[in-house]
Amino acid sequence: MAWTGKILRIDLTNIACSTEELNRQWAQEYLGQRGLATKYLVEEIDAKVDALSPENKMIMTTAPLTGTMASTGGRYSVVTKSPLTHCIACSNSGGFIGAELKNAGWDMIIFEGRAPTPVYLYIVNDQVELLSADEIWGTSVWSTDAWLHNKHQDPLLRIAAVGRSAEAGCLYAGIVNDLHRAAGRSGVGTVMAAKNLKAVAVRGTLGVGNIHDPARFMQAVTAGKKVLAEGAVTGEGLPTYGTQVLMNVINEVGALPTRNMSEVQFEGVSKVSGEAMHEPRKSDGKPNLTTNAGCFACTIACGRISTIDQGHFSVENKPEYWGNSGGLEYEAAWALGPDIGVDDLDALTYANYLCNEDGYDPISFGSTLAAAMELYQLGAITKKQTGGVELTFGSAEALVWAAEITATGEGFGKDLGLGSKRLCEKYGHPELSMTVKGQEFPAYDPRGIQGMGLAYATSNRGACHLRGYTVSSEVLGIPEQTDPLATENKAALVKAFQDATAVVDSAGLCIFTTFAWSLEDIARQIDAACEGDWSAERLTEVGERIWNMERDFNLRAGMTAADDTLPKRFLKDAAKTGPATGRVCDLDQMLPEYYQLRGWDADGVPTDATRQRLGLA
């Protein structure tokens, strides 16, 4: 078996730590990470619980392949109820802390209650302590990381922490690990801060020595790495340009949401693309991109490390941001750039640094700022609210200002921390919020990529590209090319991607492997690592079980079929440029077929037959 078999339960209210055995039957039914931790959560909390109350629980979780030699086997997830959406939240992160937790001997940590004063969790293998975080409460993630490394004098200590944004109540605050990797979406960091939990610091030296069939596992891992190395995306595109390889591509297909998604193409795209990050700056002759980087066990290395021009306006008198740090990835670059009309690459990079340093989601932040700019354009937000700052589309100065005040929650930063839905409701124009179930859209316009419209509308955690990435098929032609403007058979495509993604997340792997791997490639590795017969067919059923379990939780939380929709902008306002000119998203043509394929009734509720088939009675 590749599970450690041990769960760490932390009672924050009573400052107590205990150990329990993993539920082996659930592990066979839900595999690990996203699936298994969600099973624990839905069994232990009321779906209607206030997400920021002590009664909500938060689970940090690994998976069977986390910490192994499987390529990208360093993923971990945070599972809780979201304060942003009130839906199930599972936020996935790379880096190194997931593998460190597994090497310390733990499958997951379940946090309960709320500590009476700020604390952090310190783990060295089976030695576990809750220690005072009074000295680091009110500091950034980066300051917290430095303080903990200095206190414990261990350079190999791996740390996940929340920043000032989470403490200030920003509803889309994340949990940042290894300085610039993050469980970034749905407000999981806000839940962590509400529990008075500042950080988790882990050192693991036990290794992962419980692989079911080591020889066969190594064969499967070696074969898998070869497939990734030979893949055009995983072996060339992502290592060279990172996810930013998509910026120009998505703009060309007419699906790059621009200026709060009122347009589908951005005229300044070449200035903020992956290619632009390689080009020498006129000011100092150096490129934005310093190098690429990889997470634990990753053979793709899509991560970016960037340096900002020291003379740029955004970093004057701020030398701490001149050094190398996490660079722009596609979603962040889009949200901080085209969606607010900004084409200043260094300003985008600086704002992204702030998102990392103080731990808030750049997708939700950029989308919320875009909504604020449209509200300002209409006069609903004025200089009185912004303290004299002009929130105009295209203003790099406004971007930098907004990023700084959102990090601290000061002034108008408190409004920006509400997220797009609540911000637009507060200022009288809810129709300007580009969200599904309260979560902001990522960087693909559903008028130009129809399948993504259905994927957004039905996503269990609100608008999300990582719950069913049909872009792979509709734009990149992987595993086969489908027409991005067609609606035929998109329901089946979306369902297949959603179920497969649930499997990948629950295995502890990066979703980018699926640009080259099939479920057969993944099944061979899981089958060798874990006890039991893990075929691709069985994994598909596991993915479907996970998806329906999440759906059930959301229904109990109060979601209905009416929440499986898109903003009217995508359903009524046709694209004005590009290949999708004249098109809206035809969600109404795809959604009924999707419900039918899922085995749900017309109200989007899983039928008794579906529940019985999947063991979800």
Q: What is the largest CA-CA distance in the chain?
A: 67
Which neighbouring-strand residues pair with 406?
none
Pair of tokens at residue 255: 């699906």
Indicate whether 310 pLDDT > 90.
Answer: no
Q: What is the pLDDT of residues 559-573, one digit of tens each?
A: 999 999 999 999 999
Cα distance between residue 15 and residue 86, in whole Å: 27
Give the pLDDT of residue 324: 58
**Residue boundaries of the structural domains of the chain:** 6-203, 258-433, 446-614
Distances (CA, A) of 532 to 487, 535, 539, 613, 615: 39, 10, 12, 20, 18
Q: What is the pLDDT of residues 510-557, one digit of tens each?
A: 999 999 999 999 999 999 999 999 999 999 999 999 999 999 999 999
Pairing of strands 175-177, 289-293: unpaired
Is residue 283 classed exposed, middle or buried when 0-12, 13-18 and 19+ CB atoms within 10 A define those classes? exposed
Cα distance between residue 384 and residue 318, in whole Å: 28
CB atoms within 10 A of CB 19: 12
Q: What is the pLDDT of residues 411-462, one digit of tens each?
A: 999 999 999 999 999 999 999 999 999 999 999 999 999 999 999 999 999 9
The per-residue pLDDT of the chain, averaged, comes to 96
Cα distance between residue 503 and residue 519, in whole Å: 9
Bond into 319 cis (ω within 30) = no
> Based on C-alpha coordinates, what's the Rg of the chain?
22
* Residue 146 neighbours by CB under 8 Å, 6+ apart: none
Which neighbouring-strand residues pair with 120?
131, 199
Cα distance between residue 294 and residue 192, in whole Å: 26
Give the pLDDT of residue 579: 98
- Domain spanning 446-614: CATH 1.10.599.10: yes
The SS3 of residue 199 is strand
Cα distance between residue 522 and residue 95, in whole Å: 20
Tell me what the mean pLDDT of segment 303-319 comes to.
75
Cα distance between residue 500 and residue 480, in whole Å: 15
Pairing of strands 303-306, 325-326: antiparallel
Give the pLDDT of residue 154: 96
Indicate whether 509 pLDDT > 80.
Answer: yes
DSSP string for residues in 95-146: SSHHHHHHHTT-SEEEEES--SS-EEEEEETTEEEEEE-TTTTTS-HHHHHH
Cα distance between residue 95 and residue 249, in whole Å: 27
- Report yes or no: 275 and 249 within 8 Å, Cβ to Cβ: no
Cα distance between residue 585 and residue 486, in whole Å: 10
| Angle, CA of 335, 339 and 343, to the nearest 5° | 90
| Angle, CA of 291, 295 and 296, to the nearest 5° | 135
Instruction: Give alpha helix (H) positions in 477-567.
Output: 490-507, 519-529, 536-557
Give the pLDDT of residue 210: 87
Q: 316-325, 518-527, 595-604: which has the minimum mean pLDDT? A: 316-325
Pair of tokens at residue 465: 């590209």
DSSP 185: S
Give the pLDDT of residue 317: 56
Exposure string for 100-135, b = 16+ CB within 10 A, e = fewer = bbbbbbbbbbbbbbbbeebbbbbbbeeebebbebee
pLDDT > 70: what percent of the chain? 98
CB-facing half-sphere around the CA of 465: CA atoms within 13 A? 17
Superfamily of domain 6-203: Aldehyde ferredoxin oxidoreductase, N-terminal domain (3.60.9.10)
Indicate whether 372 pLDDT > 60.
Answer: yes
- Give the pLDDT band of residue 322 (cuts 50, 70, 90): very low
CATH for the 258-433 domain, from 3.30.420.40, 1.10.569.10, 1.20.1260.10, 3.20.20.70? 1.10.569.10
Cα distance between residue 586 and residue 559, in whole Å: 22
Pairing of strands 439-440, 435-436: antiparallel
- Give the pLDDT band of residue 315 (cuts 50, 70, 90): low
0.85 exceeded by the pTM?
yes
Tell me what the mean pLDDT of segment 242-256 comes to.
97
Give the pLDDT of residue 379: 98
Tell me what the mean pLDDT of segment 238-260 comes to.
97
Exposure string for 61-82, b = 16+ CB within 10 A, e = fewer = bbbbbbbbbbbbbbbbbbbbbb
Tell me what the mean pLDDT of segment 328-342 comes to.
98
Residue-level length of the chain:
617
| Angle, CA of 353, 336 and 243, to the nearest 5° | 80
Q: What is the pLDDT of residues 163-217, one digit of tens each?
A: 999 999 999 999 999 999 999 999 999 999 999 999 999 999 999 978 999 999 9
DSSP 7: E
The strand order across the sheet containing 127-132 reads 127-132, 119-124, 197-203, 158-161, 175-177, 181-183
Cα distance between residue 139 and residue 158, in whole Å: 18
Cα distance between residue 318 and residue 332, in whole Å: 22
